[in-house]
Amino acid sequence: MFRWLEGPGAAFRNPLPNSTNYLGAYGANGELLRAAGRSQAPEIRKNEDADAGGVVDPDKEPSAQTSEVQSADQSVAGGAEKKPGSTSELPPARGEDLRPFPLNRQFVSQKVLSEEFREEIWRRVTKDGKNVKVVSAEMGVEMNRVGAVVRLKTIEKEWTKMSYALQTSDTFPPHLTTPPLPSLSTSKLTHNSIKGKPLATPYARATLAMLPQTIYNPKFKPRHEPINDLPTHAATVQQIFHPTSESRAFTRADAAKVFDRTLLPADERIPHPELVVLEKEVISGLTKAERNERMIERARVEAEAKEKKERRRKEREEREIRVVEGRRWEFRFRDVSVEDAGKDGRGERGVGWRYGIPHEDRKKGQVRIPTRVG
């Protein structure tokens, strides 16, 4: 161990600032690989540039897209780094520098959102009034992450205001109001837990400096992660052998109907199905103004349909559910029937169905091929 500390491990006594400093970034002699001029294969570098850069914009020229990807590459992972004791700038971190475990080359440290990136997401949702779906498509961040960033940023800003105001006051200021939060609220905070205690900003900055980051740059369209991954539906986890004719055009919609009669095809179950429609319109040759007009109309129709569906759901609950007010709690009763579970007891309307019933497709002795046609 001491031999390693005096040899290759000596490079970690003075780690590079704004760098991950993973073991995979250094060679057997303790030298920084990208500082020694070792380059990667062109196809690997091309894939990493695509991951670090923006999304291809069909309205821009290829040369403009190339320059944007290059500028994005320089802004990812903290940009260019300087070697201690030297004025020469190091190239940005590559895939080899993001592997913390040298013997496990499949594990790559994923990028995190920079502080500027999170601030821009919060601003677009709270200040500009855009919904989470639009911001997710614009910023290249998954919708669940956008919602988490907005909630945490709201809590951070509220704590900052209260910490500043409570330094000279013993009561909560009435003018500090934020959107209601489901899990954390200001009513659960005490004066002693906030008063005179600033946020751990230096610790957060030091932690971010040791992680690869996706830096926000308004000059190009960012992409932090895939935003259109297909979620796994509960109806698709079973094994089904479905015979079909070779001359039949078996589409994704037909495959969805095999799993469940009400299951939508993959193009409609992804988080952003509007991007597929937009790409088809680009291929068809529509102008940008025509695409924007159609997109606005689709958004309006979708919002009206969602509002109508929610209104029907509330009306149905008011008819079917009987509410009894208690002293502290509200009790809700709904009429059920044992026949709702069906003949085999597996009906989705039966009581307890939501807790899950395992499929028997992998059970020994079960018939796995269709026994009827229709």
Answer yes or no: are the C-beta atoms of 50 and 72 closer than 8 Å: no
Q: Is residue 371 very low, low, confident or very high in pLDDT (cuts 50, 70, 90)?
A: confident
Q: Quote the pLDDT of residue 39.
A: 45
User: Could you give the residue ranges of the DSSP H alpha helices within 84-235?
Assistant: 115-126, 132-139, 143-165, 191-194, 201-209
Q: Quote the pLDDT of residue 131.
A: 85
**Residue 168, SS3 per DSSP:** coil
Cβ partners under 8 Å of residue 308, min gap 6: none
Q: Quote the pLDDT of residue 164.
A: 61
Q: Quote the pLDDT of residue 61.
A: 43
Question: Token pair of 141, please?
Answer: 């961040």
Q: Is residue 193 very low, low, confident or very high in pLDDT (cuts 50, 70, 90)?
A: low
Answer yes or no: is pLDDT of 2 > 60.
yes
Work out the average pLDDT over 273-292.
Answer: 90
Answer yes or no: are the C-beta atoms of 102 and 82 closer than 8 Å: no
Answer yes or no: is pLDDT of 272 > 80.
yes
Answer yes or no: are the C-beta atoms of 268 and 277 closer than 8 Å: no
Instruction: Report the residue count for the chain.
Output: 374
Work out the average pLDDT over 63-77.
Answer: 41
The 10s digit of each residue's pLDDT in 137-190 is 899 999 999 999 999 999 998 888 876 665 555 554 454 444 444 444 444 444
Longest dimension (CA), the chain: 79
Q: Is 211 exposed, middle or buried (0-12, 13-18, 19+ CB in 10 A)?
A: middle
Q: What string of DSSP letters covers 107-130?
A: --PPPEE-HHHHHHHHHHHHTS--
Q: Is 84 exposed, middle or buried (0-12, 13-18, 19+ CB in 10 A)?
A: exposed
Q: Which of 34-48, 145-159, 225-239, 343-357 has the weakest average pLDDT?
A: 34-48
Q: Which residue has the higher pLDDT, 109 or 177?
A: 109
Residue in 16, 45, 49, 48 with CA at minimum distance from that of residue 31: 16
Answer yes or no: is pLDDT of 278 > 80.
yes
The 10s digit of each residue's pLDDT in 335-346 is 888 787 777 777
Question: Token pair of 173, please?
Answer: 């200021």
Mean pLDDT of the chain: 76
Answer yes or no: is pLDDT of 12 > 80.
yes
Q: Scan for tokens 């030091």, then name that residue.
A: 206
Q: Quote the pLDDT of residue 315.
A: 92
Residue in 150, 18, 162 with CA at minimum distance from that of residue 90: 18
Q: Which residue has the higher pLDDT, 98 or 179?
A: 98
Look up the pTM and report it.
Answer: 0.64
Q: Which of 14-28, 86-100, 137-151 has the weakest average pLDDT?
A: 86-100
User: Which residues is 82 bridged to in the sheet?
Assistant: 89
Contacts 24+ apart (CB under 8 A), 247-250: none
Cβ partners under 8 Å of residue 214, min gap 6: 76, 111, 112, 113, 114, 117, 222, 224
